[in-house]
Amino acid sequence: MSSAEQIAGARVGAAFRLLMQARILIACVSLLLVPWDDRAVGGFLIVIGVALLSSLALFAWGQIVPWLLRQPVLIGFDVFVSYAVLEAGDVLGPFFLFTVLTAAVAGLLYRWQGMLLVCGLQILLYYAAAAGGRSTLAFQTLIAIPAFYPIAGFIGMGLRRLFDEQARLEEARRRAEVAVAAADERARLAREMHDSLAKTLRGIAMSAVALPSWMSRAPDRAEQEARNIAAAAEIAAREARQLIEELRDEVIEYPLAEACREVVASWGRDSGIAASVTADPHAELPMRVRYEVIAILKEALENVVRHAAAGSVEVRLAAEQDQVVLVVRDDGRGFAFDGELGDFLRGGHYGLVGMRERATTIGASLAVLSEPGAGTTVTVTVPSVRSESSPRLEAA
């Protein structure tokens, strides 16, 4: 099922619950409006029974709506129950409104063809109830009142069309955000290839050109240069693999909580370090912001491998008031940090500088708590609604 279908399905479910609530309310009001001397025991029991079934549909809508969609014939049961209500309470009685919502449900679930079929059947049964009832066959009885069935059906169908259109627009917006995020990431990868991989390869080429002259003049120096070339080639290969993996990464299309779990699980398998993750499914962000948060998570985990010598890592994603908080905590060696950005550069923690730059692009704050021998905690706090205030790097 596509994202658009999931969004539309959730809204259809919400509208179905609203219709069931309206039906229960109408049933209660109808019972109060019927004069005591006219209230037949059979009609009273039928309406109570249907109200109870509507309550069941209200609370078990997650199972009932799929059943109705897979087996449209099931709504026929509701149509004949509505006929029984009309027979018991007369077509001009207060029970009539109770039956109209069946047409609205048909329009919501089955669109044109299903709605017209259900409304046609309801109108035929309405005439059957009117012919055998106590009401006078006049314009109101023959035309005006049964017209409520197609009107309710068109309202339900209009809601469904609105939900489908909104879902398509949201899916198009999501795809546009994915495309923009991918374009931004390609630009970033191009910069990294120029700043890191291309420079590394250029250094290898220059060293290789000078190697023959060192072999004739200083064999020891030539041997050292050869080792340097081999080491640089390994670095270049690692950088190339990392860039290729980032180009292939599709986890950004997942919901944020699911993406975090997938990233942590994959990293744990590759690194061999025990990793646990607690992710709140309600923690969600726009696509471009989510992209940067996932990139920060990946860099924080890579820093654990490179520098922390940790035995375990804990990741927590939470929705707190109007912000989303990501915490990455390890039990590694830690390092001294007083909040100055230069400490990262002097200590060789270039990944933290990159994380700070990513946080800057989304208006987030990045807090680092670390002490020698006490592990490191990286906390990213992202406003759910993007703030205009400038981002910052904090020492927690």
Confidence band (pLDDT; 50, 70, 90) for 312?
very high
Residue 390 has a pLDDT of 37
Residue 135 has a pLDDT of 61
pLDDT in tens, 342-351: 555 555 455 6
Strand 323-330: give its sheet, edge to edge. 274-279, 312-320, 323-330, 376-383, 365-370, 392-395
pLDDT digits (tens, 9 = 90+) for 219-263: 888 888 888 888 778 777 766 766 666 555 556 667 889 989 999
Q: Which residue has the tokens 């997650």?
A: 62
Average pLDDT of the chain, as a whole number? 80
Q: What is the pLDDT of residues 86-145, one digit of tens each?
A: 877 777 766 788 788 889 999 999 888 888 999 999 899 888 888 876 666 677 778 888
% pLDDT > 70, the chain: 79
pLDDT of residue 391: 40
Q: How confident is the model at residue 377 (pLDDT cuts 50, 70, 90)?
A: very high
Instruction: Give 313's contacts (C-beta < 8 A, 6+ positions apart).
Output: 264, 268, 273, 274, 275, 276, 301, 304, 328, 329, 330, 331
pLDDT over threshold 60, residue 394? no
Cα distance from N-terminal residue to C-terminal residue, the chain:
43
On the question of pLDDT at 396 being above 70, the answer is no
By residue count, the chain amounts to 396
> In this model, does residue 385 exceed pLDDT 80?
no
What is the C-alpha separation between 34 and 23, in angstroms, rounded?
Answer: 16
**pLDDT at 299 > cutoff 80:** yes
111, 162 contact by CB (below 8 A): no
Average pLDDT over residues 150-173: 88
55-69, 128-142, 145-159: range with lowest mean pLDDT: 128-142
- Residue ranges of E strands in the chain: 274-279, 312-320, 323-330, 365-370, 376-383, 392-395
CATH architecture of the domain 251-396 equals 2-Layer Sandwich (3.30)
pLDDT surpasses 50 at 387: no
Alpha carbon distance 351, 337 (integer Å): 15
Structure tokens, 59: 């609370």
Q: Give the whole-angstrom CA distance, residue 372 versus residue 282.
A: 35
Reported pTM? 0.53
Inter-residue contact 113 to 73 (CB < 8 Å): no
As a whole number, mean pLDDT of residues 174-194 equals 70
What mean pLDDT is predicted for residues 22-27? 86
Q: How confident is the model at residue 297 (pLDDT cuts 50, 70, 90)?
A: very high
Reported as a pLDDT band with limits 50, 70 and 90, residue 393 is very low
How sure is the predictor about 356, in pLDDT bands with cuts at 50, 70 and 90? confident
Looking at residue 135, what DSSP letter applies?
A: S
Domain ranges, ordered by start, for the chain: 3-171, 251-396
Residue 7 and residue 167 in contact, taking contact as beta carbons nearer than 8 Å: yes
Q: Name the band, by pLDDT with cuts 50, 70 and 90, for residue 4.
A: low
Contacts of residue 250, Cβ cutoff 8 Å, sequence gap at least 6: none
Mean pLDDT of 313-330: 92
Q: Looking at residues 307-313, what average pLDDT do you find? A: 88
The whole-number pLDDT of residue 134 equals 63
Q: What are the two backbone dihedrals, phi and then psi, of residue 280, each rounded to the nearest 5 degrees?
A: -80, 120
Query: Per-residue confidence at 284, pLDDT binned at 50, 70, 90?
Result: confident
Strand-pair category, 376-383 with 365-370 = antiparallel
